[in-house]
Amino acid sequence: MKKFLAILMCAMMVLSFAACASTTAPAADETTTETAAATTTETTTESAGGTIYVLGPTPDHGWTAQAGVYAEQKVADINAEGQYKAVYMAASSGEEQVDQVQTILANGDAVGVVFFALEDSAKAGQEALIAAGVPFISFDRIIEGPDAYAILNASGDNWQCGAGIAYWLQMNGMAPGATLVTLIGDNGTVCSRRQEGFEQFLRGEIDYFDQDKNESYHTSQVWTQEEIDALTADYKVVCNWSADGAYQYLEQKLPEIVAKAKTTGDALYIYSMDDEMTFGLMNLLEANAIDDATKADFAALNVYTSAIGGMAELYAVIDGTSAQAATAQTYFDGLMSVYFSPKMFENVINYMLDYLAGNWSYAIGDGKYEPVWIVDSSNVMNYEGFTGH
Protein backbone atom coordinates (compact mmCIF):
# COMPACT_ATOMS: atom_id res chain seq x y z
CA MET A 1 0.00 0.00 0.00
CA LYS A 2 2.79 2.42 0.94
CA LYS A 3 4.56 1.51 -2.30
CA PHE A 4 1.36 2.34 -4.24
CA LEU A 5 0.99 5.71 -2.50
CA ALA A 6 4.60 6.60 -3.25
CA ILE A 7 4.09 5.80 -6.91
CA LEU A 8 0.84 7.86 -6.98
CA MET A 9 2.55 10.88 -5.41
CA CYS A 10 5.36 10.76 -7.94
CA ALA A 11 2.86 10.64 -10.77
CA MET A 12 1.01 13.67 -9.39
CA MET A 13 4.28 15.63 -9.13
CA VAL A 14 5.06 14.88 -12.79
CA LEU A 15 1.61 16.08 -13.83
CA SER A 16 2.05 19.23 -11.72
CA PHE A 17 5.33 20.08 -13.43
CA ALA A 18 3.74 19.49 -16.83
CA ALA A 19 0.86 21.79 -15.94
CA CYS A 20 3.24 24.53 -14.82
CA ALA A 21 5.18 24.18 -18.05
CA SER A 22 2.01 24.53 -20.11
CA THR A 23 1.11 27.88 -18.49
CA THR A 24 4.43 29.38 -19.49
CA ALA A 25 4.14 30.72 -23.09
CA PRO A 26 6.94 29.64 -25.41
CA ALA A 27 9.09 32.39 -26.85
CA ALA A 28 7.15 33.79 -29.80
CA ASP A 29 8.92 34.13 -33.09
CA GLU A 30 9.05 37.51 -34.85
CA THR A 31 6.36 36.65 -37.38
CA THR A 32 3.81 35.68 -34.72
CA THR A 33 4.41 38.92 -32.79
CA GLU A 34 3.96 41.12 -35.89
CA THR A 35 0.76 39.33 -36.90
CA ALA A 36 -0.75 39.76 -33.44
CA ALA A 37 0.18 43.45 -33.38
CA ALA A 38 -1.33 44.05 -36.80
CA THR A 39 -4.58 42.34 -35.80
CA THR A 40 -4.83 44.39 -32.61
CA THR A 41 -4.20 47.65 -34.47
CA GLU A 42 -6.82 46.87 -37.13
CA THR A 43 -9.48 46.02 -34.55
CA THR A 44 -8.72 49.12 -32.48
CA THR A 45 -8.94 51.44 -35.51
CA GLU A 46 -12.31 50.07 -36.60
CA SER A 47 -13.84 50.19 -33.13
CA ALA A 48 -12.48 53.67 -32.48
CA GLY A 49 -14.24 55.05 -35.56
CA GLY A 50 -17.43 53.00 -35.49
CA THR A 51 -20.08 52.79 -38.18
CA ILE A 52 -22.30 55.44 -39.73
CA TYR A 53 -25.51 53.88 -41.01
CA VAL A 54 -27.50 55.63 -43.74
CA LEU A 55 -31.08 54.48 -44.25
CA GLY A 56 -32.77 55.43 -47.50
CA PRO A 57 -34.72 54.30 -50.55
CA THR A 58 -34.03 51.46 -52.91
CA PRO A 59 -32.87 53.32 -56.02
CA ASP A 60 -35.49 52.75 -58.70
CA HIS A 61 -36.67 56.02 -60.26
CA GLY A 62 -37.42 59.64 -59.55
CA TRP A 63 -36.31 61.93 -56.76
CA THR A 64 -35.84 59.24 -54.13
CA ALA A 65 -33.75 57.11 -56.48
CA GLN A 66 -31.39 59.98 -57.24
CA ALA A 67 -31.18 60.82 -53.55
CA GLY A 68 -30.15 57.21 -52.93
CA VAL A 69 -27.46 57.43 -55.62
CA TYR A 70 -25.93 60.49 -53.96
CA ALA A 71 -26.05 58.78 -50.57
CA GLU A 72 -24.38 55.60 -51.84
CA GLN A 73 -21.55 57.65 -53.35
CA LYS A 74 -21.03 59.56 -50.11
CA VAL A 75 -20.93 56.29 -48.17
CA ALA A 76 -18.26 55.01 -50.56
CA ASP A 77 -16.24 58.20 -50.00
CA ILE A 78 -16.41 57.80 -46.22
CA ASN A 79 -15.19 54.22 -46.46
CA ALA A 80 -12.33 55.31 -48.70
CA GLU A 81 -11.25 57.92 -46.16
CA GLY A 82 -11.11 55.24 -43.48
CA GLN A 83 -11.97 57.15 -40.32
CA TYR A 84 -15.40 55.58 -40.13
CA LYS A 85 -17.07 52.60 -41.64
CA ALA A 86 -20.23 53.61 -43.52
CA VAL A 87 -23.14 51.41 -44.63
CA TYR A 88 -26.04 52.33 -46.91
CA MET A 89 -29.15 50.31 -46.13
CA ALA A 90 -31.78 50.54 -48.89
CA ALA A 91 -35.43 49.77 -48.24
CA SER A 92 -38.79 49.92 -49.97
CA SER A 93 -41.03 50.53 -46.96
CA GLY A 94 -41.07 51.99 -43.47
CA GLU A 95 -41.58 48.54 -41.97
CA GLU A 96 -38.42 47.31 -43.64
CA GLN A 97 -36.54 50.25 -42.15
CA VAL A 98 -37.73 49.26 -38.66
CA ASP A 99 -36.18 45.83 -39.24
CA GLN A 100 -32.97 47.50 -40.39
CA VAL A 101 -32.77 49.44 -37.14
CA GLN A 102 -32.98 46.18 -35.21
CA THR A 103 -30.03 44.90 -37.24
CA ILE A 104 -28.09 48.09 -36.49
CA LEU A 105 -28.74 47.81 -32.78
CA ALA A 106 -27.77 44.14 -32.78
CA ASN A 107 -24.47 45.02 -34.48
CA GLY A 108 -23.70 47.39 -31.62
CA ASP A 109 -21.23 49.55 -33.57
CA ALA A 110 -23.34 52.55 -34.64
CA VAL A 111 -21.95 56.01 -33.92
CA GLY A 112 -24.76 57.69 -35.84
CA VAL A 113 -27.67 57.06 -38.20
CA VAL A 114 -28.88 59.25 -41.06
CA PHE A 115 -32.53 58.30 -41.42
CA PHE A 116 -34.50 59.04 -44.58
CA ALA A 117 -37.86 57.65 -43.49
CA LEU A 118 -39.82 56.35 -46.44
CA GLU A 119 -43.12 56.25 -44.58
CA ASP A 120 -44.45 57.28 -41.20
CA SER A 121 -44.44 53.58 -40.28
CA ALA A 122 -40.66 53.96 -39.84
CA LYS A 123 -41.45 55.82 -36.61
CA ALA A 124 -40.89 52.68 -34.51
CA GLY A 125 -37.35 52.46 -35.88
CA GLN A 126 -36.56 56.01 -34.81
CA GLU A 127 -38.06 55.34 -31.41
CA ALA A 128 -35.78 52.30 -31.04
CA LEU A 129 -32.74 54.47 -31.79
CA ILE A 130 -33.88 56.96 -29.17
CA ALA A 131 -34.29 54.21 -26.57
CA ALA A 132 -30.82 52.86 -27.36
CA GLY A 133 -29.21 56.30 -27.21
CA VAL A 134 -27.99 56.19 -30.83
CA PRO A 135 -27.80 59.72 -32.33
CA PHE A 136 -29.72 60.14 -35.58
CA ILE A 137 -30.49 62.82 -38.14
CA SER A 138 -33.97 62.75 -39.62
CA PHE A 139 -33.97 63.64 -43.33
CA ASP A 140 -36.75 64.75 -45.68
CA ARG A 141 -39.77 63.07 -44.07
CA ILE A 142 -39.76 64.46 -40.54
CA ILE A 143 -41.83 62.20 -38.28
CA GLU A 144 -43.50 64.03 -35.44
CA GLY A 145 -42.59 62.69 -32.01
CA PRO A 146 -39.12 61.32 -32.76
CA ASP A 147 -38.23 64.68 -34.33
CA ALA A 148 -37.92 66.14 -30.82
CA TYR A 149 -35.05 63.71 -30.09
CA ALA A 150 -33.17 63.87 -33.40
CA ILE A 151 -29.80 65.61 -33.27
CA LEU A 152 -31.07 67.43 -36.38
CA ASN A 153 -34.13 67.44 -38.62
CA ALA A 154 -32.95 68.27 -42.13
CA SER A 155 -34.81 68.76 -45.39
CA GLY A 156 -35.45 71.18 -48.16
CA ASP A 157 -37.56 74.13 -47.07
CA ASN A 158 -41.01 72.72 -47.75
CA TRP A 159 -42.77 75.82 -46.43
CA GLN A 160 -40.91 77.86 -49.03
CA CYS A 161 -41.90 75.36 -51.73
CA GLY A 162 -45.53 76.13 -50.97
CA ALA A 163 -44.89 79.86 -50.62
CA GLY A 164 -43.07 79.94 -53.96
CA ILE A 165 -45.93 78.25 -55.78
CA ALA A 166 -48.51 80.51 -54.12
CA TYR A 167 -46.48 83.56 -55.18
CA TRP A 168 -46.12 82.30 -58.77
CA LEU A 169 -49.78 81.37 -59.18
CA GLN A 170 -50.87 84.68 -57.65
CA MET A 171 -48.48 86.54 -59.95
CA ASN A 172 -50.25 84.79 -62.84
CA GLY A 173 -53.70 85.88 -61.77
CA MET A 174 -54.85 83.50 -59.03
CA ALA A 175 -57.28 85.38 -56.80
CA PRO A 176 -60.09 84.45 -54.41
CA GLY A 177 -62.74 82.51 -56.28
CA ALA A 178 -60.27 80.92 -58.72
CA THR A 179 -60.27 77.25 -59.71
CA LEU A 180 -57.34 75.34 -58.24
CA VAL A 181 -56.29 71.70 -58.51
CA THR A 182 -53.99 70.42 -55.73
CA LEU A 183 -51.98 67.26 -56.43
CA ILE A 184 -50.56 65.97 -53.14
CA GLY A 185 -47.72 63.49 -52.74
CA ASP A 186 -48.81 61.85 -49.48
CA ASN A 187 -50.11 62.72 -46.03
CA GLY A 188 -46.68 63.11 -44.39
CA THR A 189 -44.93 66.25 -43.19
CA VAL A 190 -43.38 67.04 -46.59
CA CYS A 191 -46.72 67.86 -48.18
CA SER A 192 -48.41 69.19 -45.05
CA ARG A 193 -45.59 71.73 -44.72
CA ARG A 194 -45.87 72.64 -48.40
CA GLN A 195 -49.57 73.30 -47.90
CA GLU A 196 -48.86 75.32 -44.75
CA GLY A 197 -46.37 77.49 -46.64
CA PHE A 198 -48.83 77.99 -49.50
CA GLU A 199 -51.50 79.24 -47.12
CA GLN A 200 -49.12 81.26 -44.93
CA PHE A 201 -47.93 83.19 -47.99
CA LEU A 202 -51.47 84.00 -49.08
CA ARG A 203 -52.37 85.16 -45.57
CA GLY A 204 -49.31 87.43 -45.59
CA GLU A 205 -47.61 85.62 -42.71
CA ILE A 206 -44.44 84.65 -44.61
CA ASP A 207 -42.68 85.90 -47.72
CA TYR A 208 -41.27 83.84 -50.54
CA PHE A 209 -37.50 84.28 -50.82
CA ASP A 210 -36.07 83.48 -54.25
CA GLN A 211 -32.41 82.60 -53.81
CA ASP A 212 -31.85 82.54 -57.56
CA LYS A 213 -32.84 86.19 -57.84
CA ASN A 214 -31.86 87.08 -54.25
CA GLU A 215 -35.23 88.74 -53.78
CA SER A 216 -38.06 88.42 -51.31
CA TYR A 217 -41.72 88.61 -52.35
CA HIS A 218 -44.79 89.42 -50.27
CA THR A 219 -48.35 88.53 -51.22
CA SER A 220 -49.96 91.12 -53.45
CA GLN A 221 -53.29 90.45 -51.77
CA VAL A 222 -53.88 89.19 -48.23
CA TRP A 223 -56.37 86.31 -48.29
CA THR A 224 -58.72 85.31 -45.51
CA GLN A 225 -58.71 81.71 -44.33
CA GLU A 226 -62.26 81.35 -45.65
CA GLU A 227 -61.09 82.39 -49.12
CA ILE A 228 -58.22 79.89 -48.97
CA ASP A 229 -60.53 77.12 -47.78
CA ALA A 230 -62.87 77.78 -50.70
CA LEU A 231 -59.92 77.76 -53.13
CA THR A 232 -58.63 74.38 -51.94
CA ALA A 233 -61.91 72.61 -51.16
CA ASP A 234 -63.05 71.02 -54.40
CA TYR A 235 -60.18 69.48 -56.35
CA LYS A 236 -57.42 67.83 -54.37
CA VAL A 237 -56.06 64.30 -54.28
CA VAL A 238 -53.23 62.26 -52.76
CA CYS A 239 -51.32 60.75 -55.68
CA ASN A 240 -48.63 58.81 -53.76
CA TRP A 241 -45.94 60.74 -55.67
CA SER A 242 -47.08 59.02 -58.85
CA ALA A 243 -47.76 60.25 -62.37
CA ASP A 244 -50.32 57.45 -62.63
CA GLY A 245 -52.07 58.63 -59.48
CA ALA A 246 -52.52 62.11 -60.94
CA TYR A 247 -53.53 60.68 -64.31
CA GLN A 248 -56.28 58.49 -62.82
CA TYR A 249 -57.77 61.30 -60.73
CA LEU A 250 -57.71 63.84 -63.55
CA GLU A 251 -59.09 61.34 -66.05
CA GLN A 252 -62.26 61.27 -63.95
CA LYS A 253 -62.35 64.91 -62.88
CA LEU A 254 -60.94 66.98 -65.74
CA PRO A 255 -64.23 67.62 -67.59
CA GLU A 256 -65.76 68.92 -64.34
CA ILE A 257 -62.65 70.99 -63.53
CA VAL A 258 -62.60 72.56 -66.99
CA ALA A 259 -66.29 73.41 -66.78
CA LYS A 260 -65.72 75.07 -63.39
CA ALA A 261 -62.68 77.02 -64.66
CA LYS A 262 -64.73 78.41 -67.53
CA THR A 263 -66.94 80.11 -64.93
CA THR A 264 -64.03 81.57 -62.93
CA GLY A 265 -62.35 83.84 -65.43
CA ASP A 266 -61.39 81.11 -67.91
CA ALA A 267 -58.35 80.35 -65.77
CA LEU A 268 -57.09 77.18 -64.13
CA TYR A 269 -54.26 76.85 -61.60
CA ILE A 270 -52.43 73.60 -60.89
CA TYR A 271 -50.66 73.22 -57.53
CA SER A 272 -48.64 70.05 -58.05
CA MET A 273 -46.35 69.05 -55.20
CA ASP A 274 -44.03 66.95 -57.39
CA ASP A 275 -42.73 66.83 -60.97
CA GLU A 276 -44.03 63.28 -61.44
CA MET A 277 -47.63 64.36 -60.85
CA THR A 278 -47.28 67.22 -63.32
CA PHE A 279 -46.21 64.62 -65.88
CA GLY A 280 -49.40 62.73 -65.03
CA LEU A 281 -51.42 65.72 -66.28
CA MET A 282 -49.34 66.00 -69.46
CA ASN A 283 -49.62 62.26 -70.10
CA LEU A 284 -53.39 62.51 -69.82
CA LEU A 285 -53.58 65.39 -72.28
CA GLU A 286 -51.58 63.33 -74.78
CA ALA A 287 -53.75 60.23 -74.38
CA ASN A 288 -57.13 59.42 -75.90
CA ALA A 289 -58.78 59.15 -72.47
CA ILE A 290 -60.19 62.69 -72.61
CA ASP A 291 -62.72 63.74 -75.24
CA ASP A 292 -61.70 66.30 -77.84
CA ALA A 293 -64.19 68.91 -76.64
CA THR A 294 -62.73 68.89 -73.12
CA LYS A 295 -59.22 69.12 -74.55
CA ALA A 296 -60.21 72.06 -76.72
CA ASP A 297 -61.81 73.83 -73.76
CA PHE A 298 -58.72 73.10 -71.65
CA ALA A 299 -56.45 74.57 -74.34
CA ALA A 300 -58.62 77.70 -74.46
CA LEU A 301 -58.19 78.31 -70.71
CA ASN A 302 -55.34 80.25 -69.15
CA VAL A 303 -53.57 77.36 -67.39
CA TYR A 304 -50.65 77.82 -65.02
CA THR A 305 -48.99 74.62 -63.87
CA SER A 306 -46.48 74.17 -61.08
CA ALA A 307 -44.26 71.33 -59.86
CA ILE A 308 -41.55 70.64 -57.29
CA GLY A 309 -38.35 68.68 -57.81
CA GLY A 310 -36.00 69.28 -60.69
CA MET A 311 -36.33 66.31 -63.04
CA ALA A 312 -34.23 66.69 -66.16
CA GLU A 313 -37.24 65.53 -68.18
CA LEU A 314 -39.35 68.41 -66.88
CA TYR A 315 -36.55 70.91 -67.41
CA ALA A 316 -36.49 69.71 -71.03
CA VAL A 317 -40.21 70.47 -71.28
CA ILE A 318 -39.65 73.93 -69.81
CA ASP A 319 -36.74 74.77 -72.13
CA GLY A 320 -38.55 73.37 -75.18
CA THR A 321 -36.13 70.54 -76.04
CA SER A 322 -38.38 67.64 -75.03
CA ALA A 323 -40.88 65.90 -77.26
CA GLN A 324 -43.48 66.73 -74.61
CA ALA A 325 -42.67 70.43 -74.83
CA ALA A 326 -45.29 70.73 -77.57
CA THR A 327 -47.94 69.46 -75.14
CA ALA A 328 -46.99 72.10 -72.58
CA GLN A 329 -46.98 74.82 -75.25
CA THR A 330 -50.43 73.78 -76.44
CA TYR A 331 -52.13 73.49 -73.08
CA PHE A 332 -50.18 75.59 -70.56
CA ASP A 333 -49.69 79.32 -70.38
CA GLY A 334 -46.95 78.91 -67.79
CA LEU A 335 -44.93 76.02 -66.33
CA MET A 336 -42.46 75.99 -63.47
CA SER A 337 -40.82 73.65 -60.96
CA VAL A 338 -39.47 74.59 -57.53
CA TYR A 339 -35.84 73.47 -57.29
CA PHE A 340 -35.62 70.75 -54.64
CA SER A 341 -32.40 68.86 -55.17
CA PRO A 342 -31.91 65.20 -54.13
CA LYS A 343 -28.26 66.11 -53.55
CA MET A 344 -29.46 67.29 -50.14
CA PHE A 345 -29.08 63.69 -48.95
CA GLU A 346 -25.32 63.94 -49.45
CA ASN A 347 -25.26 67.23 -47.54
CA VAL A 348 -27.12 65.67 -44.63
CA ILE A 349 -24.58 62.85 -44.34
CA ASN A 350 -21.94 65.58 -44.10
CA TYR A 351 -23.88 67.00 -41.14
CA MET A 352 -23.42 63.68 -39.35
CA LEU A 353 -19.67 63.88 -39.99
CA ASP A 354 -19.69 67.40 -38.54
CA TYR A 355 -21.51 66.14 -35.45
CA LEU A 356 -19.01 63.33 -34.90
CA ALA A 357 -16.13 65.79 -35.35
CA GLY A 358 -17.58 68.06 -32.66
CA ASN A 359 -18.26 70.80 -35.18
CA TRP A 360 -21.82 71.28 -33.99
CA SER A 361 -23.97 74.18 -32.87
CA TYR A 362 -27.45 72.65 -33.13
CA ALA A 363 -29.63 71.69 -30.17
CA ILE A 364 -31.54 68.42 -30.02
CA GLY A 365 -34.68 68.69 -32.15
CA ASP A 366 -33.46 71.64 -34.24
CA GLY A 367 -34.32 71.90 -37.91
CA LYS A 368 -32.15 72.84 -40.89
CA TYR A 369 -33.91 73.61 -44.16
CA GLU A 370 -32.11 74.09 -47.45
CA PRO A 371 -33.27 76.94 -49.70
CA VAL A 372 -35.51 76.32 -52.71
CA TRP A 373 -36.48 78.54 -55.62
CA ILE A 374 -38.52 78.75 -58.80
CA VAL A 375 -37.11 77.36 -62.03
CA ASP A 376 -38.94 78.44 -65.18
CA SER A 377 -38.11 79.38 -68.75
CA SER A 378 -36.14 82.41 -67.57
CA ASN A 379 -33.48 80.44 -65.65
CA VAL A 380 -33.87 76.75 -66.50
CA MET A 381 -30.67 76.84 -68.57
CA ASN A 382 -28.71 77.48 -65.37
CA TYR A 383 -29.67 74.20 -63.67
CA GLU A 384 -29.00 70.54 -64.32
CA GLY A 385 -31.86 68.26 -63.44
CA PHE A 386 -31.78 64.70 -62.18
CA THR A 387 -32.99 61.70 -64.15
CA GLY A 388 -36.55 60.98 -63.15
CA HIS A 389 -38.20 58.28 -65.21
Instruction: List pLDDT tens digits, range 169-185.
Output: 999 999 999 999 999 99
Burial class (CB in 10 A: 0-12, 13-18, 19+), 99: middle
Helix axes 94-107, 123-132, angle to 10 degrees: 20
C-beta atoms surrounding 287 within 10 Å: 10
- Indicate if 158-340+375-382 has the same CATH topology as 50-150: yes
What is the spatial distance between Cα 86 and Cα 91, in angstroms, rounded to a whole number?
A: 16
Percentage above 90 pLDDT, the chain? 84
Whether the pLDDT of residue 6 is over 70: the answer is no
Q: What is the CA radius of gyration of the chain?
A: 30
Which phi-psi region, left, alpha or beta, contains residue 368 (left: φ > 0; alpha: ψ -120 to 50)?
Answer: beta
> Residue 105's Cα: distance from chain center in Å?
23
Report whether 338 contacts 375 (CB < 8 A): yes
pLDDT of residue 65: 86
Q: Domain 50-150 in CATH: superfamily?
A: Response regulator (3.40.50.2300)
Whether the pLDDT of residue 382 is over 60: the answer is yes
Which carries the bigger pLDDT value, residue 46 or residue 381? 381
Report whether 220 contacts 170 (CB < 8 A): yes
Q: Spell out the domain ranges in the chain.
A: 50-150, 158-340+375-382
Whether the pLDDT of residue 38 is over 70: the answer is no
Q: pLDDT confidence of 92, banded at 50, 70, 90? A: very high
Whether the pLDDT of residue 41 is over 50: the answer is no
Q: What is the CATH number of domain 158-340+375-382?
A: 3.40.50.2300
Report whether 388 contacts 314 (CB < 8 A): yes
- Whole-Å CA distances, 32 to 37, 43, 155, 287, 313: 9, 17, 52, 74, 61
Residue range 218-250, pLDDT digits in tens: 999 999 999 999 999 999 999 999 999 999 999
Whether the pLDDT of residue 45 is over 60: the answer is no
C-beta atoms surrounding 338 within 10 Å: 28
- Rounded to the nearest integer, the mean pLDDT of the chain is 89
Whether the pLDDT of residue 76 is over 50: the answer is yes
Burial class (CB in 10 A: 0-12, 13-18, 19+), 12: exposed
pLDDT of residue 9: 37
